[in-house]
Structure formats: C-alpha cells, structure tokens
Amino acid sequence: MKQISEILDVEKGKKELEQDRITVGVATCGISAGADKTLEKLKTAGLSLLVEGVGCAGSCYAEPIVTVKQNGLLSIYGYVTEDKADKLIESIRNSQVCEEMLLGHKLEDIEFYKKQLRIVMKNCGFINGLSLEQYAANGGFTGLANALKLQPSQLIEEVKRSKLRGRGGAGFLTGMKWGFLAAKQGRKFIVCNGDEGDPGAFMNRTVMESDPFSIIEGMIIASYATGAKEGIIYTRTEYPLAIKTIEKALVMLKDKGLLGKSILGVEGFDFDIILKKGAGAFVCGEETALIASVMGKRGHPRFRPPYPADKGVYDCPTNINNVGTLANISKILAMGVDEYIKIGTEKTKGTKDICLTGKVKRTGIVEVPMGTKLREIIFDAGGGPVEGTNFKAVQIGGPSGGCLTEADLDLPLDYEPLQNAGAIMGSGGMVVINDESCMVNVAKYFTAFTRSESCGKCTPCREGNTRMNEILDRITKGLGTEQDIKKLKLLAEYIRDNSLCNLGKTAPNPVLSTIAKFPEEYDAHIKEKRCPSKVCIELLKYIINEKCTGCGACARVCPTNAITGRIKERHVIEQAKCIKCGNCYDICAFNAIDRK
Amino acid sequence: MPRKKKEQTVNPVVQKVKIFLNDEEIMVDPNNYLIDIADEHGIKIPHFCMHERLERTAACRLCVVEVEMRGNRIITTSCSTKPAEGMKVYTHTPRLLEARRINLELLLANHDLNCPTCPSNLNCKLQRYASELMIEQSRFTGVKRDVPVDDSSVSIVRNDNRCILCGRCVRMCNDVQTVHAIGFQKRGFDTIITPALDYPMDKSACVNCGQCVIVCPTGALSEKPGVQHVIDALNSGKMLIAQTAPSIRATLGECFGMEPGTNVTGKMVSALRKIGFEKVFDTDLGADITIIEEATEFIKRFKENRDLPLITTCCPAWIKFGEQFFFEELNHMSTCRSPQAILASLIKTYYAENIGKKPEDIILVDIMPCTAKKYEIQRPEFVKEADYVLTTVELGKLIKQMNIDFEKLPDSEFDNPLGESTGAGVIFGRSGGVMEAALRTAADWLEGKSLEKIEYKGIRGMETMKEATLTLAGKEVRICVVHTLGEARKLLEQIKQGKSPYHFIEIMACYGGCIGGGGQPRPTNKEILLKRMDAINKEDKRKKFRKSHENPSALKIYAEYLGEFGGERAHKLLHTSYSKKPYK
C-alpha cells in the first residue's frame, strides 16, 4: 500500500498554509456578495503576498470574507466589498491591520464562532478546496489511511461505535446502513446525496464548494467498508459552482490514483465516482426519488420495502449518505472514534452544521456540538433577532419541519428532542422568525412550497397541500371562517398519515405547529380580520389620525387617489379605493397615518 | 453463493404467518400483499392505481388499512404492505373510512363533475366509490384543473379534467407496451399526464392500441366517438353495410350486463339489422382469406428461406409500432392486409360490382374491438374502403340509443356472400388464433393432405410469449406468439440483431389479443379474458369448417373474382405495403 505522502507533496501544502498569504472566500455566498471582484482586485493590486480564493467559512453575514496573514499575524476581515478593498490593500501595503473591517485575529475572537466546534467545516474557508496538497496538509486522507489499517468489517464496527447518524435528517445510524450494504454481493453503489432543496439550507453546497475532497474521501472509505465499486454524487443543476468543483476534484483524484483501479496500490480496491445532476426537484432528496432520478427517470418516490440496500440504483444494492454524513466520516476516522464520541449527546455524537437564516443578526453556517441549546445558536452565534425586533419563533427543518417558540429555546439540538417538540432536525436549516413576521403567512409560504414541490404522485400530498395552501391564503386575505381551522387540521393530519413519502408525511408540520403554537394569530385573522404582525396586506387598514397637518404629501404619492383633503386640513383615506401599498405611511413625516 | 441458491429452490414451502384480519385470526403467505389477502377473505378494498398487470406504485392511497405491530398503530396502503407474524390489520375503521372520504373529496374537488356527459358514466371507479362512501359534497374547494380536451388522435380522446393521476395508463404505455407515448409532466398540483413536450396525441408515438383506455378507472381516456357519424349515415340514403370482427360476438353481451364469455353472434346480427344496416357481413370471412394469402406467403418464404421470420399483420397498432421503431425490419412483416381491410376491399369491389352499385354509394361500418382500427381505416392505403369504425363499447351504446332490447332479440344469420366463415376465422379474436389458423392451412398444404390435428394447444392461453416447434413435411418450423407490444419489442430486437430463431411470428398489441382490445367493454381482467377466450374456442369447435382454405364462400370468391391464391389480383386487393414512420 502506498502512503499519501508518496502520492502528494504534503510538505508543499503545509508551506502554502503556513506562509503569509491572503485568502478570499469565493463560494457561492461570497460571490453573490461580490467576493469575486474583491479577489480580482487583490490579485491585481501587486501585493507581495500570495492571493488565493478559498471556500466559505460560514459567516455569510459578513461576506465577502478576506483573511490576511502578514508577518505571521492572521487577520480575518468581513464586509470587504470591491469598494472597500482599496482600504484593505492600503493597510496591507503598510503592514497594518485594517481595524475598520477586522472581525478578529482568530475564529474564537469572533462572536459568531465562539460557540462553534468545527469538524465538517474545519477546512471550509481556510484551504483552497481544490488543492490536494493543502487538503492533505490539513489532515486530509488521514481518515482514509486509518480506515485502510482495518478490515472492512472492523471499519464498519468503528463507524457503528462512533454512533454517527445520517445528517440528511432521518438520523439513521450510518454504520448500520453500511453493514446492510456490506452484506450484499455483486454490483452495488455508494451514493452521495447532495440534493439540498430546503429553502434556507445551504450547508451541503458550502461543503461541496469549499471542501470537496472530504466528501469524496468519505465515499472512498465507504467503498472500502462495503465493497461497492461504483459511486455517484447526486446534486442539483442549481449548484453550478458545486458541480464544477466536484467535477474538478474527481479528475484530480483519478489522476493521483485515489479513484479508479487499485486505489493507493491496494489490489482489488477499485472505486470510481460519477457526478449526476438533477433538475432541482425538492423531492429528489428523498432516497427512492433520487434513485429514480439517477437512472434518468422522473423523480417519483416509491414505497419501501424494498429498501435501497436491497434494490437501489439499477436495482442493485445501494447505500445513500448525505454530504454531511460523508464529510463527517473522513474527519471521524482522522481524529479517532474515541475522541469523536466525547462530543455530543448520549444518543447523538458529533456536531451539526446549522444554516442560520431569517430575521437574525448574523446569518450563516454554525457548526456546534450536538446538544447545544437552540438559544446559544440563535442568540450567541446568531446575535438574536435583527435590531429593534423581538424573537417570535424558529422554523427548524425547512418545509418539513415545525416552528418552535421562546419556550422551546432551551431544548438541546438533537433528533428526538426536536421531534418531540413538533419540529425536526431535517438537514439543519433554522429560519428565525421575529415579531415582524406573520405565522399564518409563514405557514402559507411553506404550503406554497410543498404545493409546487410535491412530486404529484400520491393524492394526499398533491391535492391536499394545495387545499391547505388555499385555505391559508383565504385566511390571510380575511376570508377565513372558523371552520377553516378544523379543516386545516383535518387535512394536515390526513396528509401526514396517508402520504407515500416523507415529503408528504412532513409537509403539514408547519401548519400543525403554527396552529398549535400561535392559535391567537389564526384567531386574529379569522375572527377579527386583523393581522397582528401587519404583514397580510389585505387585512391592513390605513387611517389618518389627528396629527395630520394637511401637508398633502400622502395624497401626492397615493397611486389610486384614495386620499383627499384640503391643504392644512386633516386628510381622509377612502378605504374602498385604498390598495394598501403603504406609500402614504412611508412618506408621512408626522406619524399621522395609523396602520392597523 | 451457488449453494445458497440451491437451498432456496429445494425448500419452496412457504412458512405461513398468523395475522388478525379485522380481529379474525388467519394464516397467510407472508409474500402476499394485504390487499390480496383481504380479497381472498371476502374484503374488497377500494383502489385506483393498482392493476393486476401493472407494477404497484401505491400512489392513490385509497387502499389504506390500519396496521398494528408491537403496539404501534399506523395507516398504510394495503397494496404495498406484506403481513408479518402477529400483525393486526383493520380494513374499515372509522378513521379509515374518513381517510378514504377525504381522499375522494380531494379528487372530486379537482375533477370535472359533469358525470352524465362523461363517456365512463356509470362505469367509473371514482363515481362508484364516492357513491359507496355516500359523499354528498366535497368539503374542499378551490382551483380546478382546467385544460383543453385533446381529441387530436383518431382513436383516443384525452380529457385531463377527468384524470385522477393514478398513473395506470402511463405504466401500461411505458412498461407493458413500451411505446412511451404519454408520461407524467410538471410537478405538484400542476402534474398532468400528457405526451412529451405537451404535444397533442396525434403527434406523439401513440400506436392507438387503446390499452390505456382499458385501464383508465375514470373517463379521462376514451375511444374517439364515432356513433354520431353512423347515425348521420343511416339517414344519408346510401346503402349501409356492417362487418363485425371475430371477437365482438364474445364481448358485446357484457355491454348489456351479460356474463363475460356469452356468445351473442345471432343477437348482434339482429341488432345491427334493427339499427338499419342492410347487410351484415362477417369479418371472419376476411380472416379466412387473410389466412389463405398469408399461408401462401409463408410457404413461399419458407421454401425460399427469405425474409424469415414472417410476422402477422392483422393488428394495426403493431403495424404502427413496427413502422415507428423497427422500420429496418419491415421486410419481415406479412404484406397481407388485416381481415377488416380485406373484407372492406371486397365489399367495395367484388360485392359492389355484384350488386351493381358504385362503391361510393355504400357506407361500410366496421364493428371492431379496437381503437387502432379507427386509425387503420384512415391509412392512405385504405381510404375509400371502410367508412367508419365503431368499437364494441360504441356499438353497445348505439344499440341502447336505438332503444333495442338486446337480450330479447332473436338470433339471426350473417348475410351472404360475405357472411360464411370457418373456425379458423373465429379464433382470430384471441391471442394465438392467427397463428393457429395459419398453421391449419399451411400444414395441410405442406403435407399435401388434410390433417386431423388442427388444435395447437401449445400456443393458446394467456402467457404473453408462447413458442413451439413443429415438424411440417419433414422440416422443423419454429413459431412464436406474443401479445403486448413489450413482448413484440423483444422479438424485434432479436430480429434486428439477426438472432431470431423463429420462422413465423404472431404479434398482437393487446393482452389476450382482440378480446382484450382497446375498444372492448370495461373492466377487462385476466378472469374475464379467459371467459371471452373460451367463448371463441367454443365457437371454433361448433363450426362445420375449421380450416380457412375450406371456406366455400372464400373459394367461390377466388374462383369468381380473385383468381389464384397469392395471384396478381389478390395482391392488388388483399395486400398492402408499409413505410418507415420514424417518430420525430
């Protein structure tokens, strides 16, 4: 067996990582904030330091992120847009720290990272994702080397001992899953599920773009453990950068003999990976739909059994793991199972990378040990709700999850406690909702999502989600009746109990949890025809109060000429003409318009 | 590994498990699904998407049952769940009845509810279950699918506003027929079943077999209606002639609630006369002539060892399938027309001349089991021959429309000279029939004597691929009979690769042959098909002549009009040609 150091110039990677250099996070989130332009500017500035694009460290709120290591001192900068880059370049030229944009000198200095424990995200944002040398220098392939010291059956036992649970959401023990596949003979597949489709979830994309080798290393280890010789990475066309990165990574690994025949010179250890691009259907994250899609069929889930371990891709035994699961594997085996199981809770070990989004001060990917309180994630890492607003709820687990409130914030992050509270871990999306959001409207949003993302195969999900969405739509328009809550519950429970796949079974969660936790908001909409959060336009009423000075500014911006009145006299809004655009409310300088 | 396999074959005895079906303790085979077990125990669980010949998808969620295992009670679909030791299964708890009601109400909320004007009125599963569960009104209202009806095809009308997306038609077209004319498109509530790229049916790969129509539980798919054309023709002052395909006599009775397999030949002829047809001829005579031509063709090719295997071409759906997907192999297709086309040709030439009428003064209506025949008569090779095709179902409706009390009708005979047929002509109506009829004639001719053995039981039955090897005049003849186009595709692939071991092949697009045609009464299932098949075989046995070349009328027509078997005039009137129709 060959050693990694025989194949790769690990020393070169080490040198690259240790030397003074500038990095810019150019994953999708960075690029959308203009990081590519910042990178270009830094590269062409004629600085003596090496300038390199890296992946995303997770602090989306402060993109573009630039790190500068100068004279051995690391500085992490945020918000370095193209226009601010000049200032940074100036500081670098003067060998100074640019305090204005400085987030900290190490991650631990930064509030966002203080509670974090980065295992999956370890490399993200700090190495060039497509440098094999840097990857190896930062501990890459140690897991593979350690795995190869074991017999496949011992390896599976080790994975079982780590109690690693599937990070796709279901939380099934990965070691068990591998054991099922290892017991099968003949042609078999390892599939990496990178079809992240939840609104507000992007942790898989980030890892695929920032640290592709860690996922592939996980797959190579899985191949060794289970004897599968074929691998498939399935992701969506909406992730063009992830696709490009994975494609390049696969070619590089094949070049170095880390994929293909006799990996690391081990006779009979053959494993190859292809990339499959889905058209971007949410349901294709469901494993049986994913299998259909991989085979070029319509992404329809099918009933189980037979499970993929018996009948998967091309009817062959198949093991499907989430990107996060596979990225964990390489790290677990590198650090050793004994170390790993010290992290997390009794039942669930390790960490979870959470996508924190919504009305929170600091958005991004937060990786914390399992068991961390939700409050710590939202208030410590995330900084709590945006300025001037109050926390109302957090939607965990995307459209399949549920809303949790203030009362649930001391729950530990773990599969079962979340489920018992009416939400799910899912892939780890957390959407923070503040008091400016209407919960009925939130439920409507998620049913609109499932209405269009249902695959259309089974009746409850296809027809039922549409009807729930329509009822919620009526309620937000003030057309709801008291019967509607009963009808919603009836439908939601029916869809939950009768749907074919987990998309359908969990689709009613946002409806059920908002009804359970925010009954007063539903009541206000239905009985009082009022939206307490002032979100549902049709329920709003604009009234001019006695503070009106009769300046006429409101009347001038009203697009429907609904406001009338004499100059210097109190104006009136003709309600029948008002389309609730809010122009008058925004322009009034005297707080003379009440929005109810 | 090999040892393991052996063990499995040595020990086929199934260890039964104990379950409680609605609290009744029963021992069941753990490999069967709950819905089938319930059925065996007298409980028919409602369902839409499940069909005996199609892969199960558990999509409609109507067949839900409550299952209790180790204290866990869940709702699951009985079509996809197998029993386990100690399982408690409940099939009609209040919770389930409510679930089914909601299911149906959701479907009804998105359904065109103009039942009286639906072609499947009173023969619709949605209507039936809604009525059984006493649904008065759907609790759910909102947007409804509202898409144009696609009546572009000459054979099949698609009305998606009546579709419940059970997917039976898709599985039939794709998995069984391998035509892939229709599929699911779009997602979520917008999901719809349509040809690719939203093309109309006439621009799709559809071969008009109508097997989708047969499995559709509602009125979303139906045959293109032709009844009104016939009613108009009845008052046109022209001479109306009907010809009836071999299988109609075994199925028409079902339209009137008669037991499947009831032979109604005599009543059918009487009914057609009552409707106003001056002459009622028997397509079976056309079948006999087809056999005379085809046996001649086979013997010629067999002796010359050329273009073998020869494939029968009575089925217009198969012909289009071949022209679309296997146009390099068209030389294997028999040039003989179908019995319908042969008789139509003779009616408009031989018969018209005999009675001194111009062909255009005769309106010929074909009563066919088949939606594809509506397509066949419009093929350019056959224009001005048959005028209209009515399916069995449509004839049933026409008879009812004319207020004819079918069951009380007396029997009557077909008209002459085109009404006499043999048993060989009759069996065209079922899978294996054309082959058997051809062999009865070819064997006699090759052996040079009249053989006693005329029943070829090896190629009978419902198996979709049946093969046999015979020795005729000292030579081995390998034959194969397939029904369903998926099976046909396998044989054609073999031919394409030059690996076909056969000399003679019969292909029928529909399961069971014409008795299972797209225009036959619904429902059609294996049990019903076997009864229809039995009726056909009984009719064959009853016939005075059972070999096509012994049909006195056919021989008379050859002597008077056509000349030699396979001769020049026969070729002109009784044969046809095929062309490449690549699907674009």
Per-10-residue mean pLDDT, chain B, length 584: 44 85 96 97 97 96 96 96 97 97 97 94 96 95 94 96 97 96 95 93 96 96 96 94 96 96 96 96 96 95 93 96 94 96 96 95 96 96 94 97 96 94 95 95 92 88 93 92 97 96 96 96 93 95 94 95 93 94 71
Which chain A residue lies closest to B98 (C-alpha atoms)? Answer: A494
Same domain, A312 and A204: yes
Q: Are B300 and B566 in contact (CB under 8 A)?
A: yes
Question: Are residues A427 and A448 located together in one domain of the fold?
Answer: no
Q: Give me the helices (H) in B365-463, please.
A: 372-376, 392-401, 423-426, 433-447
Q: Please say which residue of A71, A106, A141 terminates a domain.
A: A106
Which residues of chain B does A500 touch, with a Cβ-Cβ cutoff of 8 Å? 58-59, 61, 77
CB B188 to CB A458 under 8 A? no
Question: Which residues in chain A are closer than 8 Å to B111, comparing Cβ atoms?
Answer: none
**Of B564, B488, B476, which Cα lies nearest the Cα of B313?**
B488
| Disruptive mutation site among B105, B106, B126, B129 for chain A (greatest number of A CBs within 10 Å) | B106
Q: Scanning the structure block, which residue is given the tokens 């028997």?
A: B282
**Would residue A119 count as lying in a domain?**
no
Residue A170 CB burial class (10 angstroms; 0-12, 13-18, ≥19)? middle
Put simply, whether A300 touches B (Cβ < 8 Å) is: yes
Inspect the interface and report whether the beta carbons of A490 and B102 lie closer than 8 Å: yes
Query: Which residues make Cβ contacts (< 8 Å) with residue A278, sequence separation at least 6?
Result: A195, A234, A235, A236, A237, A284, A290, A293, A299
- Choose among A439, A526, A414: nearest CA to A477: A526
pLDDT band, very low/low/confident/very high, at A309 (cuts 50, 70, 90): very high
Q: Do B57 and A459 touch (CB under 8 A)?
A: no
Burial of residue B468, with CB atoms counted within 10 A of its CB: 0-12 exposed, 13-18 middle, 19 or more buried = middle
Query: Following DSSP, what letter does each residue of B315-345 receive, concatenated?
Result: -HHHHHHHHHH-GGGGGGB--BPPHHHHHHH
Q: What are the phi and psi torsion angles at B363 (to 5°)?
A: -110, 120
Q: Partners of A231 in the beta sheet?
A: A190, A273
Domain for residue A425, yes or no?
Answer: yes
User: Do residue A462 and residue B188 have CB atoms under 8 angstroms apart?
Assistant: yes
Chain-chain contact of B164 with A470 (C-beta, under 8 angstroms): no
Q: Where are the beta strands (DSSP E) in A94-166?
A: 102-104
The verdict on A393 and A311 lying in the same domain is: no
Distance separating alpha carbons of residues B497 and B328, to the nearest angstrom: 11
**Contact state of A459 with B106 under an 8 Å Cβ cutoff:** yes
- Residue ranges of alpha helices (H) inside A188-228 are 203-210, 212-226
- Judge if A380 and A473 occupy the same domain: no
Q: Are residues A318 and A391 in the same domain?
A: no
CATH code for the domain of A585: 3.30.70.20
**CB within 8 Å: B103 and A459:** yes
- Which residue from A minimizes the CA distance to B191? A456
Neighbour count for residue B194 (Cβ, 10 Å): 21
pLDDT of residue B4: 42
The CA angle A571-A574-A575, to the nearest 5 degrees, is 130
Nearest CB neighbour to B60, from listed A453, A459, A490: A459
| Cβ–Cβ under 8 Å, residues A396 and A352 | no
Question: Is A569 among the domain residues?
Answer: yes
Could you tell me the CATH number of the domain that includes residue A383? 3.10.20.600
Yes or no, beta carbons of B184 and A298 under 8 Å apart: yes
The predicted-structure confidence for A132-158, as pLDDT tens digits, reads as follows 999 999 999 999 999 999 999 999 999
Task: Determine whether B360 is an active site residue.
Answer: no
Q: Would the CB atoms of A459 and B59 count as touching at under 8 Å? A: yes
Identify which of B79, B71, B87, B74 has the alpha carbon closest to the alpha carbon of residue B27.
Answer: B87
Would strands A318-322 and A429-434 be described as parallel, antiparallel, or unpaired? unpaired
Taking residue B231's Cβ as centre, other Cβ atoms within 10 Å add up to: 14
- Asked if A567 reaches chain B (Cβ–Cβ under 8 Å), the answer is no
Q: Would the CB atoms of B59 and A467 count as touching at under 8 Å?
A: no
CA angle at residue A573 from A569 to A576, to 5 degrees?
A: 155
Going A371 to A376 to A382 to A384, the CA torsion angle's sign is positive
For residues A250 and B472, which has the higher predicted lDDT (pLDDT)? A250
C-beta atoms of A463 and B75 within 8 A: no
> Nearest chain B Cα to A497, which residue?
B75
* Nearest chain B Cα distance for residue A182, angstroms: 15
DSSP A56: -
Residue A140 lies in a domain: no
Residue A241 lies in a domain: yes
- List, in order of start, the domains of chain B with CATH numbers: 18-92 (3.10.20.740), 104-223 (3.30.70.20), 228-574 (3.40.950.10)
For A338-355, what is each residue's pLDDT tens digit?
A: 999 999 999 999 999 999
State the residue range of the domain holding A207. 178-328
SS3 content of chain B, % helix, strand, coil (to 5): 45, 15, 40
Reported confidence tier of residue A169, pLDDT bands at 50, 70, 90: confident
- The tens digit of pLDDT for each residue in A260-308 reads 999 999 999 999 999 999 988 999 999 999 999 999 999 999 999 999 9
Cβ-based contacts of B75 with chain A (< 8 Å): 497-498
Nearest 5 degrees, angle CA B373-CA B378-CA B382? 95
DSSP letter at A376? I
Residues A429 and A389 in one domain: yes
Q: Which residues of chain B does A463 touch, with a Cβ-Cβ cutoff of 8 Å?
A: 106-107, 109-110, 140, 189
Q: What is the helix (H) or strand (E) element at residue B508, kind and residue range?
A: strand B504-508
CATH at A452? 1.20.1440.230
- Block residue for tokens 């369902």: B47
Radius of gyration of chain B, Cα coordinates, nearest whole angstrom: 25
pLDDT higher for B571 or A170? B571
Read off the DSSP letter of residue B19. E
The 3-state DSSP class for residue B386 equals coil
Distance CA A502, CA A508 (A): 11
pLDDT computed for residue A566 by the predictor: 92
Total number of domains constituting chain A: 5
Which amino acid is located at A449 in the chain? F
Interface of A with B in 440-469 (CB under 8 A): 450-460, 462-467
* Residue in the structure block whose two tokens are 């979520």: B188
Same domain, A35 and A73: yes
Residues A307 and A364 in one domain: no
Tell me the chain B residues in contact with residue A460 when contact means C-beta distances shorter than 8 Å: 61, 102-103, 106
Which residues of chain B make contact with A303, given a CB cutoff of 8 A? 56-58, 77, 80
Taking CB atoms and an 8 Å cutoff, what residues of chain A touch B77? 303, 500
The answer to the question of residue A472 being in a domain is yes
The reply to whether A196 and A220 lie within a common domain is yes
A491 to chain B: which residues are within 8 Å by CB?
A: 102, 140
Cβ atoms of residues B430 and B539 within 8 Å: no
Cross-chain residue pair B165–A497, CB shorter than 8 Å:
no
Of B109, B184, B188, the CB nearest to A467: B109
**How many other C-beta atoms are found inside a 10 Å radius of the C-beta of residue B378?**
13
Q: What is the CATH number of the domain that holds A24?
A: 3.40.30.10
List, in order, residues 6 or more apart from A465 with CB less than 8 Å away. Answer: A447, A450, A451, A454, A495, A504, A507, B188, B189
Size (chain B), residues: 584
Which of A477, A503, A526 is the last residue in one of the domains?
A526
Interface test with B, best of A454, A498, A499 (most B CBs within 10 A): A498
Tell me, yes or no, whether A171 lies in a domain: no
Specify whether A186 is located in the same domain as A316: yes
Please identify which residue in the block is written with the tokens 């890492």. A381
If asked whether residues A316 and A197 sit together in one domain, one would say yes
Interchain pair A462, B167: CB under 8 A: no
CB contacts under 8 A, A 495-534 vs B, are 497-500
Buried b (16+ CB within 10 A) or exposed e, B56-70: bbbbbbbbbbbbeee
- CB atoms B188 and A302 under 8 Å: no
Indicate if A448 and A482 belong to the same structural domain: yes
All residues of chain B having their beta carbon less than 8 Å from the beta carbon of residue A450 are: 188
| Inter-chain residue contact A298 with B188, CB threshold 8 Å | no
B376 tagged catalytic = yes
B254 is catalytic: no
pLDDT higher than threshold 50 for residue A234: yes
CATH number of the domain that A211 lies in? 3.40.50.11540
Nearest chain A CA: its distance from B143 CA (Å): 9
- Residue B294 is among the residues annotated as catalytic for this protein: yes
- Residues on chain A touching B103 (C-beta within 8 angstroms): 459-460, 494, 498
Closest residue of chain B to A492, computed from CA coordinates: B102
Which residues in chain A have Cβ-Cβ distances shorter than 8 Å to B35?
Answer: none
Q: How many Å lie between the alpha carbon of B192 and the closest alpha carbon of chain A?
A: 8
User: What value does the mean pLDDT of chain A take?
Assistant: 94
Residue at A342 is within a domain: no
Secondary-structure percent of chain A, ordered helix, strand, coil, rounded to 5: 45, 15, 40
**Whole-angstrom distance, CA of residue A91 vs CA of residue B113:** 74
How close B353 gets to chain A, by Cα (Å)?
57
Looking at A382, A406, A434, the residue that finishes a domain is: A434
What DSSP string runs through B86-152? Answer: T-EEESS-HHHHHHHHHHHHHHHHTS---GGGSTTTTS-HHHHHHHHTT--S-S----------B--
B381 is catalytic: yes
